[in-house]
Structure 1
Amino acid sequence: MSRRTVATLPSILGQMSNAYVIRNIVNEDGSALVSDHGAHVINWAPDGGTPVIWQPKAVYLGEGTAIRGGIPVIFPWFGKGYEQGHATDKRPKHGFARVSDWHVDPDTLTDRHVRYTLDSDEIDADTLAQFISGPDPRFHAEVDIAVGRELSVVLTVENTGDAPITYEAALHTYFRVGDVRCTRIAGLVDTRYLDSADGFAEREQTSGPLTFDGGMVDRIYYSDGTLLIEDDALHRTIKVEKSGSSQTVVWNPGEEAGNAIGDMMDGEWRDFVCVEAAANRDRAITVEPSDAHTLSQTIRVN
């Protein structure tokens, strides 16, 4: 049975011989906390300002447990997966990347930068067999994180095998807002989306910006452009740029579902909105042998 630890950050937490390492990356332009478990940015603030990446009041760390908040790395399937026009039931939810222990490349570790790696040889065969493209995929994955006045997170997957690999991916970014009900997402007008909160019904954003009223919002937009998170409560606008992704997921659980999430306190659903560079369902990524694909997100405060 896995054990879970509530962490007050920054810290290095131990579980018997299994250590959970949180790295404090600080420079004169910004600061971030990053976990080796999941190659996971926990929070980020530019130049000592108000945090832009949201972390909950309590952060749970444990073997096989995904970290809530921050920027979970979603790979190689989104949710429980999707193949040939049908939802699947793959485990763990959102793939194994966010619950794996990634390796730090020591040559990249500075007060501004860290790179993590994960290889297919480190994942058990039964889990790998759930890849969209079939069993025994071969890959080398890297997560590159740069911290300063802006935050850059880059996921690169290289096909190291002899056959094509196909996968879903996302950077599941939780943005800190003063109150989601006073927040707008600009840049989605005339954009088609799938409404995950309503059986993936296909709709179009005919007016904008997107607003939140306390109900669940869970949408997959077919959008590859720059978005703005307009936060009236904190009097700021967050600019979100991406590449290597033709979809953007926007999610907030709303009051009813948010208060039912076990690793969040009541009311914390108001403190964030997720805006995610994504490639899933009909936009899954296929990488040929010896080739690679890069999905990235760059965040700054205007």
Structure 2
Amino acid sequence: MNDCFITRDFVNDDASATITDYGAHVLDWTPAGQPKVLWHPRAITLSNGVAIRGGIPLVFPWFNSGFENGHVADKQPKHGFARISFWHFDEEASSNAVARYTLTSDDVPDDLLRTMGGGEKASFHATYEVRCGKEFQASFTVTNDGEHPFSYDEALHTYLHVGDVRRISVTGLEGATYFDTTIEGHPTRVQPDEPITFDGTMTDSIYQAASDGENAVVRVHDETLGRTIVVEKSGSSNTVVWNPGEQGAAGIGDIANDEWPGFVCVEAANNHGTPVTLAPGESHTLSQTLRVE
């Protein structure tokens, strides 16, 4: 594959989007007449082996450094290899409103495939399709092409643009159990019957929120921008909510000191003890739809 940092713009009457072949990474989605919905820092680094911050990083096949047997693992690279791989753009299946990308195990080093397969060399093909219009839909499908089952984590690590994270509220996860990963041991908590709010300290919560349950639809109410972003998902067991806060952002080199209030991450995921397991020949699709109310 030609390791070039190609960035593609998709423009139609309803919206515009920008996607780079590196990581099949969505950088922007802006509905017509609206402020942008996805956030990224002012300075974006495009460098081989370095993950892009903001937009929608595609997390696969492990989340963070992995989670095995009830404990955090030590897999590298962080959040898996998908977001630092050069994906194949399928021009025939794409248009000004649709982008289709593919990645296979032939594109991945053997050591990472064995890490993914628990010692066996995993064989797979993945398809990532993005639809850009009045709504934005991202669908990620993985098929096991090998002779052995494998398990994997995944997430659509979506950075939503907000006016000021301290003046937003997140609803739809009331009553859900979550892991508070800001605390060692990741204790479980239950979200009270009230919105999630942010006070400038780090929030990093993994909610047990199946896509066929009552917590499948999340709304981000933005007082500053006067809008609500709706996040709806399928094929997902968990929803991650994250903002690093002022102190956490200070340790992240690609976020400037004044940028952390401008986003919140709401992510459809299968992670932290609820991976996807595929038998030979099986497929699974994770999808997430965004819209503005």
Q: TM-score range by the shorter chain?
A: over 0.9
Deviates more, 1:142-151 or 1:258-267: 258-267
**Pair 1:115-2:106 in alignment:** no
Alignment correspondent of 2:213 = none
- Counterpart amino acid of 1:104? F
- Counterpart amino acid of 1:251? W
Which residue among 25, 31, 42 is the counterpart of 2:16? 31
Alignment correspondent of 2:230 = 239
For 1:132 and 1:161, the matched residues in 2 are separated by: 10
Instruction: Give the conservation status (yes or no) of the 8 Å contact 1:141–1:155.
Output: yes
Deviates more, 1:202-211 or 1:213-222: 202-211
Which residue among 253, 259, 281 is the counterpart of 1:262? 253
Alignment correspondent of 1:95 = 80
For 2:3 and 2:113, the matched residues in 1 are separated by: 23
**Pair 1:215-2:206 in alignment:** no
CA RMSD of aligned residues (A): 1.1
Alignment correspondent of 2:119 = 134
1:129 Cα deviation (Å)?
A: 1.5
Alignment correspondent of 1:4 = none
For 2:33 and 2:130, the matched residues in 1 are separated by: 18
For 1:161 and 1:277, the matched residues in 2 are separated by: 26
Which residue among 142, 162, 167 is the counterpart of 1:177? 162
Deviates more, 1:74-83 or 1:41-50: 41-50
For 1:135 and 1:160, the matched residues in 2 are separated by: 13
For 1:209 and 1:223, the matched residues in 2 are separated by: 15
Instruction: Give the conservation status (yes or no) of the 8 Å contact 2:113–2:123.
Output: no
1:151-230 correspondence to structure 2 within 5 Å: 151-199=136-184, 200-224=186-210, 225-230=216-221
- Counterpart amino acid of 2:263? F
Which stretches in structure 2 are left out of the alignment for 5+ residues? 211-215
For 2:192 and 2:256, the matched residues in 1 are separated by: 34
For 1:149 and 1:210, the matched residues in 2 are separated by: 26
1:278-289 correspondence to structure 2 within 5 Å: 278-289=269-280
For 1:253 and 1:101, the matched residues in 2 are separated by: 28
1:281 Cα deviation (Å)?
A: 2.1
**Pair 1:249-2:243 in alignment:** no
The structure richer in strand per residue is 1
Which residue among 36, 44, 65 is the counterpart of 1:80? 65
Which portions of structure 1, spanning 4 or more consecutive aligned residues, are displaced by more than 6 angstroms? none
Which stretches in structure 1 are left out of the alignment for 5+ residues? 1-16
Structure 1 pair 59–172 and aligned structure 2 pair: CA distance change class (3 A): same
For 1:95 and 1:37, the matched residues in 2 are separated by: 14
After TM superposition, the score normalised by the length of structure 1 is: 0.93
Instruction: Give the conservation status (yes or no) of the 8 Å contact 1:137–1:161.
Output: yes
For 1:138 and 1:132, the matched residues in 2 are separated by: 8
1:48 Cα deviation (Å)?
A: 4.0
After TM superposition, the score normalised by the length of structure 2 is: 0.96
1:18 Cα deviation (Å)?
A: 4.3
% of aligned pairs identical? Answer: 48
For 2:244 and 2:128, the matched residues in 1 are separated by: 27
Instruction: Give the conservation status (yes or no) of the 8 Å contact 1:133–1:164.
Output: no
Alignment correspondent of 1:10 = none
**Pair 1:273-2:264 in alignment:** yes
Alignment correspondent of 1:11 = none
